[in-house]
Amino acid sequence: METNNFLAQNQIFSHLDKSVLKKIEASAQKRYFQAGEWIVHHGDVWPYLFIVGKGEVTAVKESAEGRSLTLVAVKAGEIFWGLAFFLENAPMPAGLTVSQDCELLLWSRETLLPSLLENGRLSWELSCLMIQRVLFASEIVEKLAFQPVAGRLAHLLLDQSSDNSSEQLPRDLTLDEMAARIGSTREMVCRFLHRFSDDGIIHITRTEFSVTDRKKLQDLAQKVK
């Protein structure tokens, strides 16, 4: 089974004995979802922890009036959970939706809890993982509270282009998706993209974009006005 290998590569499970790993692996359910499907809706009680085998899952908050905010994208090899996995009967504060067709390996609370209680290291690693997510949330808060839209967008563009300095990159997010990630609207994103373009910071076409002045973009992202 290649899955064995797959699990062992994960930060959380990597320190377990082979035997324990096998037991845990055997107790997992495999589930498949298609892009656009909801795995869980906001408010549901969902006591599962999962690792993404293939594809991508995103956690999304939604306001009554359709606006939404993407909190995190969980990619292949990464772990995520329903709140009720930890806190019984706690409803999801955000929904989970599938951004790319995916395969999940998931455990219910009852299934995994015994292993967690027996293995201090396993629980510890889980704590560390959660801390990383706390950190991530903390950044979102900071940006929402202090950075104006321009700064948040600049940040997003930097993430997207990572280090690929000045290459042409496909625009694989729609304006609505970008807006959802930075907590704004389609129109705002569009305007700022073109403003950046006018200022010679990025170059943009309908299908591609490239960062021409990475430094200025970083300045914008830093400016914690």
Partner DNA sequence: CACCGTCTTTGCCTTAACGCAAATTTATTG
Partner DNA sequence: CAATAAATTTGCGTTAAGGCAAAGACGGTG
DSSP letters for 108-166: EHHHHHHHHHH-HHHHHHHHHHHHHHHHHHHHHHHHHHH--HHHHHHHHHHHHHTT-TT
Q: Which of 36, 141, 164, 199 binds a copy of itself (CB under 8 A)?
A: 141
Cβ atoms of 55 and 45 closer than 8 Å: no
Q: Is 191 in the site for DNA (CB under 7 A)?
A: yes
Which residues, 6 or more positions from 72, have their beta carbon under 8 angstroms from its beta carbon? 58, 59, 80, 133, 136
Nearer to a copy of itself (CB atom), residue 105 or residue 152: 152
DSSP assignment, residue 44?
-
CB of 100 to DNA, least distance (A): 15
Question: Per-residue x/- marks for a copy of itself, 31-60, CB under 8 A?
Answer: ------------------------------
In the sheet with 202-204, reading across from the earlier edge strand, the strands are 169-170, 208-211, 202-204
Give the shortest CB-105-to-DNA separation in angstroms: 30
- d(CA 151, CA 207) in angstroms, rounded, equals 23
Residue 86 in the binding site for a copy of itself (CB under 8 A): yes
Of 158, 156, 147, give the one whose Cα is nearest residue 214.
158
The whole-angstrom distance between residue 117's C-alpha and the CA centroid of its chain comes to: 27
- Comparing CB distances to DNA, the nearer of 18 and 206 is 206
Find which of a copy of itself, DNA, none residue 1 binds, CB within 5 to 8 Å per kind. none
Judged by CB under 7 A, the residue of 31, 61, 186, 214 near DNA is 186
- If the CB atoms of residues 46 and 196 are measured against DNA, the closer one turns out to be 196
Give contact residues for a copy of itself (rule: CB under 8 A). Answer: 61, 63-65, 67, 69, 71, 83, 86-87, 90, 93-94, 113, 116-124, 126-128, 130-135, 137-142, 144-146, 183, 224-225
Give contact residues for DNA (rule: CB under 7 A). Answer: 65, 67, 148-150, 171, 174-176, 183-188, 190-191, 193-194, 204, 206-207
